[in-house]
Amino acid sequence: MPSNKSVSDAPIVQFTNCRILRDHQLQREDLWVREGKILNPEKLFFDEKGSADVQLDCKDSIIAPGFIDVQINGGFGVDFSLATDDFKSGIDLVSQKILSHGVTSFCPTLVTSPPSVYHQVLPQISVRNGGAHGAGILGAHLEGPFISKEKKGAHPEHCLRTFEADAFQDLLATYGSLDCVRIVTLAPEMRRSSEVIQELTKRGICVSLGHSVANLSQAEEAVQHGATFITHLFNAMLPFHHRDPGIVGLLTSDKIPAGRRVFYGMISDGIHTNPAALRIAHRAHPKGLVLVTDAIAGMGLAPGRHTLGQQVVEIDGLNTYIAGTKTLSGSVATMDTCVRHFQEATGCSVETALEAASLHPAQLLGIEHKKGTLNYDSDADFLMLNDSLYVQATYIAGEEVWRQEASGM
């Protein structure tokens, strides 16, 4: 066997007998991995005269990029909006458990909370790579408290805030720090929101529009100031109206700055959004659709009472309500379930369904050069799936971190 020592002593793994999602197509070729990255086999053969140290037969599986969940409030009994002494062990548990659902990176999400909760919780969230210990953390998603009272959804009204005279300083004082923050959801119709959007965008933080009664021109203005995302489209916003389509109208707006794409999250759990609404959004703007779970602490647990930040929620099947009401409060769907439901509801291709949970969230966060694709030199975070899109194995940095037991499915 020719030596691989010209570049690295690290072993080269060749995944064979698989269909790889690359360039928006499932392609029948092998996947080559070394030192946590995806290798270009041509360079390996011709420049290094190298070959594989290990070959793995994938038994005709689909290999797709790992899923990225940019809106997850918790799961498995853990609530990211509760300030607890063992918060770190809670986030570790969730990051470990979501590996079996194909999530290799995520943004732990905090719903509207008192400042004391942000001040306690945010210093305990740190951006980190994934591995056998669990999915990687890309930074926090802060959903609220600068949102509309009329569209608060499951957010506690007594914690909602408006922007005061020194709006950005007000936001900083509320959160305490933006060090590990990746996304902020706010209502763009609020006075002084434009300066906040500009300041957040300047710092590389993604601004999302949601829990809002904004009309279309207010939403367009927010995008012109830097907003790039819509939090769970259709939920907690004005319904589409033909004379003023509101935030939903951003999907086909002609006022989006050149070269900019607006992304929108969708909770594809069969509960939050009617399949027809899912189809309308997807057909209107397919390249912007980002699947999110919006999962709460009750994901992975039995029906009954659980928490979402300051509120008590009741789980009944796949429905989650604020206790004693019919107000929906997050979901208990896992990401792989959302991918399968999305494909079934829209009739889209397997490739499209998988990219909505991988490539699109990576593009939203500006990390598509290393996550969300299986391009050469990108991180080897990927999944093996069967034709029905059930996850069979999860890999992070080329290492297997979860595998379905043989008796499964």
Q: Which residues are known catalytic residues?
A: 294
Amino acid identity of 203?
A: R
User: Is 154 flagged in the annotation as binding?
Assistant: yes
Residue of 255, 263, 231, 222 lying closest to 363 (CA atoms): 263
Asked if 211 and 185 count as a contact pair (C-beta separation under 8 A), the reply is yes
How many alpha carbons fall within 13 Å on the CB side of residue 19? 13
What are the residues whose beta carbons fall under 8 Å from the beta carbon of 344, sequence distance 6 or more?
none
User: Is 241 flagged in the annotation as binding?
Assistant: no
What are the residues whose beta carbons fall under 8 Å from the beta carbon of 241, sequence distance 6 or more?
none
User: Is 243 flagged in the annotation as binding?
Assistant: yes
Q: How far apart, in whole angstroms, are the C-alpha atoms of residue 322 and residue 315?
A: 9
User: Is 276 flagged in the annotation as binding?
Assistant: no
- Residue 307's Cβ-count burial label (10 Å; 0-12, 13-18, 19+) is buried
Asked if 265 and 290 count as a contact pair (C-beta separation under 8 A), the reply is yes
User: Is 272 flagged in the annotation as binding?
Assistant: yes
Residue of 279, 182, 201 lying closest to 233 (CA atoms): 279
User: What's the token pair of residue 152?
Assistant: 């608060």
User: Is 211 flagged in the annotation as binding?
Assistant: yes
Binding residues: 143, 154, 211, 232, 235-236, 243, 272, 328-330
Binding residues for substrate: 154, 235-236, 243, 272, 328-330
Binding residues for Zn(2+): 143, 211, 232
